[in-house]
Amino acid sequence: MDLQTMTYLVVGLSFAIYIGIAFWARAKTTGDFYVAGKGVHPVSNGMATAADWMSAASFISMAGLIAFNGYGASVFLMGWTGGYVLLAMLLAPYLRKFGKYTVPEFIGDRYYSRTARIVAVICLILASITYVIGQMKGIGVAFSRFLETSYEMGLYIGMGVVFIYAVMGGMKGITYTQIAQYVILIFAYTVPAVFISLSLTGVALPQLGLGADMSGTSMSMLDKLDLVVGELGFKEYSTQVMGSKLNMFVYTMSLMIGTAGLPHVIMRFFTVPKVKDARATAGWALVFIAILYTTAPAVGAMARLNLMETIQVGEVGTVEGNLAYDDRPQWFKNWETTGLLQFEDKNGDGRIQYYNDKDETFAAKAESYGWKGNEMVKVDRDIMVLANPEIAKLPNWVIALVVAGGLAAALSTAAGLLLAIASSISHDLLKGVFMPSISEKAELLAGRIAMAAAIAMAGYFGLHPPDFAAGTVAIAFGLAAASIFPALMMGIFNKRANRAGAIWGMIAGISVTMLYVFQHKGIMFVPGTDFLGDMGANWFFGISPNAFGAVGAVVNFAVAIIVSKLTSPPPEHIQHLVEDIRVPAGAGAATGH
Amino acid sequence: MSERASYWKANIRLVTGCLIVWFIVSFGFGIILAEPLNNISLGGYKLGFWFAQQGSIYTFVFLIFFYAWRMNKLDRKFNVHED
């Protein structure tokens, strides 16, 4: 069977499974099966949380960034896992004890203020929309490859599918569908990794394969990679930093605290049966996430090695050392169709020279070979995971499976976020603040309109995403880190934190972060609207805009503490509320989905 | 000191301990001390690189379960558990 048919078949089959399970679980729900989230074991809940959490950024984009940034990309690996430690210890159990439905609801109650609730909603919407833009990029890449069309066309089709998927809604709220999505996603991610690890090193487990010797040699896989990229002027894989050490530190911190501030993950902890389960669920979620996250470094490194060796077939500097363009493999042609991979024969020799022309020493050497610049003018990082099994010449069913897995990851998270946006607008803003008497039907309709608007907006910005999928998502984490996390944490750990402190803290934190991001990337990421262009990139201690959320969080904490000190303490009943959420005893039944 | 206050104090102590480990394995070993650690190798891995891309993640998983286990014990000791 040819690849295209196989892909349709596997993607179709995976969707049939999700819909089938949704249908089966729904039938049971009516039979009092699912009341108040009872009966969902922390292991199942953790798995569903993991599916919800791992998006196009984790599945499609991250390993590609690892492939090209090597050690520098560790910020994503540590940032997106370490955040669960903060979530488990600083927020989840207490928010569960509090027992309401949304994050702004907690902020509104704890800070006894509708204004605080509205500010929280706005912060959440900004972070979530940015997050969805990142997903759209991933979805566009997956669909353009899957349907063999341009990235733009893939994006438009993807927008339509996401809309249908999210509006069907019910499918999403059901834990068992997400468990199925997790199983497909993790299977799709690890199978090619095992195949490639076996063929390169003879070790099946990718986590060990990455540290093993290359088959038939005594050179380790990572040393080999350092050598191969070094020969073409690229930075040493295992030591190259992202920006600077300080930038990596701040970047990691930003992703960690952003993880603990994003609504769609926190919401899951509101619905576990007990406080005790909130702690265990965080642990299990991280176990299931760690399976992918510890595999990703191997996927990235091995994809890079295979890519380099596909193009640089022989010794550097010899004519035959470079692959002739006419001999390029099928995957190369497929990705050229999408426009995400581009070759330009700069020296007109009909062969592909792929090297780092920014490295001056090597560029001089390359000139003596008759090379006239790097000819792989575009290698979009986000194609690496999807292209990886093709580059490694794995069987068609594996390639098809990876497409299905990527779509599962992107769609489940996009849908989850869209639901979070919809509930913020319809539940927190309309029903909670502006129109308390709104009917349930109108609330639902408002939610759907909000969802459609969010998709249209995210799709529009997805045409010119500010960064690769994972980079865009990182900005979303920065926004959440700078606004929501400090307000939540102080709400629990600092009894003195009051209304004015929280409001000004959130406003200061998110403003500082947005100013820095937009100054670099344009207002709402529209190209050409970046301002203060003459200040130089990353002018604040070399910190990149993607990493700036941690700085915003520090500003938020500082402003909140100072303002709280200068204004009157929270009323008596709020102090009791804080004391009450600190102990598990007396937790009410979980809020229903 | 009231029961609840000592429960909260024990909780803070536990969380602080866990977060120190959290910080050391990721920011410490994975970033700040990565270069000196890279001189040590773990299989084919440089140690600093291993902490940044593997070791810290394993430690995080362990930390959460350790925390959950100790917290559940604290809940019972101070009689603030559910049910």
- Residue-wise pLDDT for B16-44, tens only, equals 999 999 999 999 999 999 999 999 988 88
Look at residue B24 in the predicted model and tell me its pLDDT.
97
Q: Work out the pLDDT band at A266, boundaries 50, 70, 90.
A: confident
Q: Which of A335, A303, A333, A309 is nearest to A323 (CA)?
A: A309
Q: What is the mean pLDDT of chain A?
A: 86
Mean pLDDT of A275-289: 92
Chain A residues 280-319 with CB within 8 Å of chain B: 280, 282-283, 286-287, 290, 293-294, 297
- The contacts found for A306-312 with CB under 8 angstroms, 24 or more apart, are A306/A196, A306/A388, A306/A391, A306/A392, A307/A67, A307/A379, A307/A384, A307/A391, A308/A228, A308/A229, A308/A232, A308/A354, A309/A228, A310/A391, A311/A352, A311/A354, A311/A376, A312/A228, A312/A231, A312/A232, A312/A354
Give domain status of residue B44, yes or no.
Answer: yes
Mean pLDDT of A508-532: 78
Residues 6+ apart with CB under 8 A from A507: A119
Please name the member of B45, B67, B82 whose beta carbon is closest to the beta carbon of A585.
Answer: B82
Look at residue A298 in the predicted model and tell me its pLDDT.
95
Residue A27 has pLDDT above 80, yes or no: no
Contacts of A213 in chain B (CB under 8 A): 44
Range of the domain at A189: 3-307+387-581
Give helix A245-259 / helix A74-86 axis angle, nearest 10°. Answer: 40
Mean pLDDT of A385-402: 87
Mean pLDDT of A75-84: 95
- Residue-wise pLDDT for A355-374, tens only, equals 998 888 899 999 889 899 89
Residue A268 to residue A175: CA distance in whole angstroms: 10
**Of A20-24, A121-125, A227-231, A348-352, which gets the smallest average pLDDT?**
A20-24
Residue A37 has pLDDT above 60, yes or no: no
Residues 6+ apart with CB under 8 A from A318: none
- Candidates B64, B74, B81: best to mutate against A (most CBs of A within 10 A) is B64
- Residue-wise pLDDT for A466-478, tens only, equals 778 788 888 999 9
Give domain status of residue A102, yes or no.
Answer: yes
For tokens 């088959």, the residue is A215
Give domain status of residue A377, yes or no.
Answer: no
Give domain status of residue A176, yes or no.
Answer: yes
Residue A427 has pLDDT above 70, yes or no: yes
Report the SS3 class of residue A4.
helix
- Residue-wise pLDDT for A556-578, tens only, equals 999 999 999 999 999 999 999 99
Q: Which of A583, A548, A558, A422 is nearest to A497 (CA)?
A: A558
Give domain status of residue A467, yes or no.
Answer: yes
In A, minimum Cα distance to B16 occurs at A89
The domain tally of chain A equals 1
Q: Work out the pLDDT band at B61, boundaries 50, 70, 90.
A: very high
User: Do the beta carbons of residue A82 and residue B60 sit within 8 Å?
Assistant: yes
Percentage of chain A modeled with pLDDT above 90: 40
Give domain status of residue A343, yes or no.
Answer: no
- Residue-wise pLDDT for A397-413, tens only, equals 888 888 888 888 887 78
Give domain status of residue B58, yes or no.
Answer: yes
B70/A contact by beta carbon, under 8 A: no
Residue A38 has pLDDT above 50, yes or no: no
- Residue-wise pLDDT for A292-319, tens only, equals 999 999 999 999 999 999 999 988 888 8
Give domain status of residue A589, yes or no.
Answer: no
Chain B residues 5-44 with CB within 8 Å of chain A: 7-8, 11, 15, 18-19, 22, 26-27, 30-32, 34-35, 38, 42-44
Report the SS3 class of residue A2.
coil
Please name the member of A220, A283, A582 whose beta carbon is closest to the beta carbon of B68.
Answer: A283
Give domain status of residue B47, yes or no.
Answer: yes
Residue A586 has pLDDT above 80, yes or no: no
Give domain status of residue A375, yes or no.
Answer: no
Contacts of A221 in chain B (CB under 8 A): 44
Give domain status of residue B82, yes or no.
Answer: no
Look at residue A170 in the predicted model and tell me its pLDDT.
47
A211/B34 CB distance under 8 A: no
Instruction: Among A30-44, A163-177, B67-81, name the most confident range.
Output: B67-81
Read off the tokens for B19.
């977060």
User: Do the beta carbons of residue A222 and residue A209 sit within 8 Å?
Assistant: no
CB atoms within 10 A of CB A257: 28
Q: Work out the pLDDT band at A269, boundaries 50, 70, 90.
A: confident
Range of the domain at B18: 3-77
Look at residue A32 in the predicted model and tell me its pLDDT.
33
Give domain status of residue A37, yes or no.
Answer: yes
- Chain B nearest C-alpha distance from A409 (Å): 21
The domain tally of chain B equals 1
Give domain status of residue B27, yes or no.
Answer: yes
Can you give the CATH number for the domain in which A436 is found?
1.20.1730.10
Residue A125 to residue A251: CA distance in whole angstroms: 22
- DSSP-derived letter for residue A383 is G
Scanning A169-274, the segments in alpha helix (DSSP H) are: 170-173, 175-201, 206-209, 221-231, 245-259, 263-270
B75/A584 CB distance under 8 A: yes
Residue A169 has pLDDT above 90, yes or no: no
- Candidates A49, A71, A94, A299: best to mutate against B (most CBs of B within 10 A) is A71
